[in-house]
Structure 1
Amino acid sequence: MHSIQQTHHNASYTLTNAIGSTQKHACTSSQVSEIIYDPQNPFTLHLLLPFLQQLGHQPRWQLWLSPERRLNRYWINSLGLPENKTIGLNSVSTESTVEMMEKALRSGNFSSVIAWLPAISPEIKEKLNQAAKEGDCYGFILQSLPMLQSSLLHNDMFGKSHWH
């Protein structure tokens, strides 16, 4: 049991130092992180890798929620992640992905849940954070730069109606 707690501590330290945060308190109070990356330069995703490898030593599973492609076992092995403790599920919509992510985070069966999602509201992020705390799990929301840009334009976040 001590090694699991030590792994959890080391993984938290790795995440805090590897990914960082735009808000000082987010590292200690948030267990769900949004990671924006450029699909043409996937190096950003490799910043997450040491943390996922560390979590892979826990007896719990890692869940990947992917919008359109199956998880490639060769890719999982090449990253040094545990193939026998990694589950990949395809999701059909943003709503179903958020719902699956929340349930998985809350379950306590996973050390991490990784999902591709567009920009989410602060309310949804808070709901996911609460689920992650309940399940003692980390969540990572991967947002490709084009996905984030189209989501922002779709939600008209730059429109005058949103500025006060």
Structure 2
Amino acid sequence: MRQLLLGMEEAGLSLSSQQPGRMARVSTSALRGSLTEVIVSEGGAIQPMHLLPMLAQCNAHKRWLMWLSPHRPMNKSWLESMGLQHSPVIHLDLCNDTQLALCSKVLAAGNSHMIVEWQGELSNHERQIIRQQADQSGSHVVLIQRRP
């Protein structure tokens, strides 16, 4: 079995299935953004806030970490407990009517990675827009949908 090495802590490293210890270097201009979708249940053990440290590990370019969600405030002690006391994290309230426009604006700035707790149904068209904008801006987006 081959081990997949994740070199996310150092800029310019790519995912590789090479031998352990041998990472392929790629140009930082070749780095692209990504869209990852996650479904969480209301009472499940994994909640969106638990994904912020994972997103911070992708933060080789020292971008802001944006958390877009409805009415889920953060506090300093929570960030400290997650090991994010020194990371630039911003929470923005998200509402159903303006969520695509807000995501587009954040991605157009190109200075953050983000977690989005999507409200309602996500259309294929909306998904494609977010995927293209993430790719173009070099941002990693984790899009979360809640299911009962």
Higher relative contact order (CA 8 A, sep 6+): 2
Shift in alpha-carbon separation, 1:142–1:129, aligned structure 2, 3 A: same
Per the alignment, residue 74 of structure 2 pairs with 71
RMSD: 3.0
Which structure has greater helix proportion? 1
The AA in structure 1 aligned to 2:111 is N
Q: Distance in 2 between matches of 1:49 and 1:75?
A: 11
Question: Where has structure 1 moved over 6 Å in runs of 4 or more?
Answer: none
How far apart are 1:30 and its partner, in Å?
A: 7.8
Q: Distance in 1 between matches of 2:56 and 2:64?
A: 12
Once the two structures are superposed, what CA deviation does each residue of 1:72-114 show, in whole Å capped at 9, x if it has no partner? Answer: 33222212235541111112x223122111221232101x111
- From 129, 132, 141, the counterpart of 2:131: 129
Q: Does the CA contact (< 8 Å) of 1:106 and 1:133 recur in 2?
A: no
The AA in structure 2 aligned to 1:4 is A
The AA in structure 1 aligned to 2:37 is E
Q: Does the CA contact (< 8 Å) of 1:73 and 1:83 recur in 2?
A: no
Once the two structures are superposed, what CA deviation does each residue of 1:32-71 show, in whole Å capped at 9, x if it has no partner? Answer: 2221111212336588456313124532101001111322
Q: Distance in 1 between matches of 2:128 and 2:137?
A: 14
Shift in alpha-carbon separation, 1:83–1:66, aligned structure 2, 3 A: farther
TM-score by length of 1: 0.63
DSSP 3-state at the match of 2:61: coil
Shift in alpha-carbon separation, 1:45–1:90, aligned structure 2, 3 A: closer
Q: Distance in 1 between matches of 2:137 and 2:38?
A: 21
Residue segments in structure 1 that go unaligned for 5+ positions in a row: 14-28, 147-164
Per the alignment, residue 146 of structure 2 pairs with 144
TM-score by length of 2: 0.69
Residue segments in structure 2 that go unaligned for 5+ positions in a row: 1-9, 18-31
DSSP 3-state at the match of 2:84: coil
Q: Distance in 1 between matches of 2:38 and 2:50?
A: 10
Q: Does the CA contact (< 8 Å) of 1:31 and 1:139 recur in 2?
A: yes
Which structure has greater strand proportion? 2
